[in-house]
Amino acid sequence: MLEPKLKVAVDYEKCHPEKCNKGVCAAVLGCPTKLWKQEEPYDSPYPIPGFCQECGTCVDSCPLEAIKIL
Ligand code: SF4
Ligand code: SF4
CATH number at residue 32: 3.30.70.20
**CA-proximal residue: ligand 2, atom 8 (nearest):** 31
* 38 part of a folded domain: yes
pLDDT of amino acid 6? 87
pLDDT at 2 over 70: no
Using alpha carbons, select from 62, 55, 52, 69 the residue that is nearest to residue 15: 62
User: What is this structure's pTM?
Assistant: 0.92
| pLDDT tens-digit series, residues 6-19 | 899 999 999 999 99
* Cβ 35 vs Cβ 54: under 8 Å: no
Query: Does residue 3 carry a pLDDT above 90?
Result: no
Q: Flag whether 2 is in a domain.
A: no
Q: Which residues line ligand 1 (CB under 6 A)?
A: 10, 15-17, 20, 25-27, 45, 62, 64, 66-67
pLDDT tens string 47-66: 999 999 999 999 999 999 99
- % of the chain residues with pLDDT over 90: 87
Q: Is 45 domain-assigned?
A: yes
Q: Which domain holds residue 49?
A: 8-69
Ligand 2 centroid–CA 63 distance in Å is 15
* Count of domains forming the chain: 1
Q: How far apart are CA 20 and CA 22, in angstroms?
A: 6
CB-hemisphere CA count at 13 Å for 55? Answer: 13
Q: What is the CA(65)–ligand 2 centre distance, in A?
A: 14
Phi first, then psi, for residue 26 (nearest 5°) are -65, -30
Count the Cβ atoms, other than its own, within 10 Å of residue 67: 24
